[in-house]
Amino acid sequence: MAKNITPNTKELKQFIRQHSPLWWWVPEAAKENLSLNAVVEALLNYGSIEDIKKLFGIVGIKKVAEIFYEATRDRQRTNYPPEIENFFKLYFERHA
């Protein structure tokens, strides 16, 4: 069941701290203020299956799918490699 969570929740901030190396170029003090879009993009591109499941638990699979589709819809260039984009399009069609 999807939770209605905003990006500034304690649980999401803790999750970002635990996965801090995914945003190596962002100063530590700014990492807790990452947009939910940035968190979703990094986790779908570089996170493990366990990381992605945890993200779904925190944010909700429907919200993650919504963010993903918004980033990939009608764009010639996205930050998702083609194989990642294809995988998650298929995954979200079936599960979200």
Establish if 77 belongs to a structural domain: yes
Tell how far CA 55 is from the center of its chain.
Answer: 7
Cα dihedral: 51, 26, 72, 76 (round 10):
-140
Q: Which domain holds residue 42?
A: 10-21+29-95
What pLDDT score was predicted for residue 6? 55
Establish if 16 belongs to a structural domain: yes
Establish if 87 belongs to a structural domain: yes
Number of compact structural domains in the chain: 1
The contacts of residue 3 (CB under 8 Å, 6+ apart) are 57, 58, 59, 60
Distance between the two ends of the chain, CA-based, in angstroms?
A: 10
Establish if 3 belongs to a structural domain: no
Mean pLDDT check: name the lowest of 5-9, 18-22, 29-33, 41-45. Answer: 5-9
Determine contact, residues 85/51, Cβ cutoff 8 Å: no
pTM: 0.83
For the stretch 51-89, pLDDT in tens is: 999 999 999 999 999 999 999 987 777 889 999 999 999
Establish if 5 belongs to a structural domain: no
Determine contact, residues 39/12, Cβ cutoff 8 Å: yes
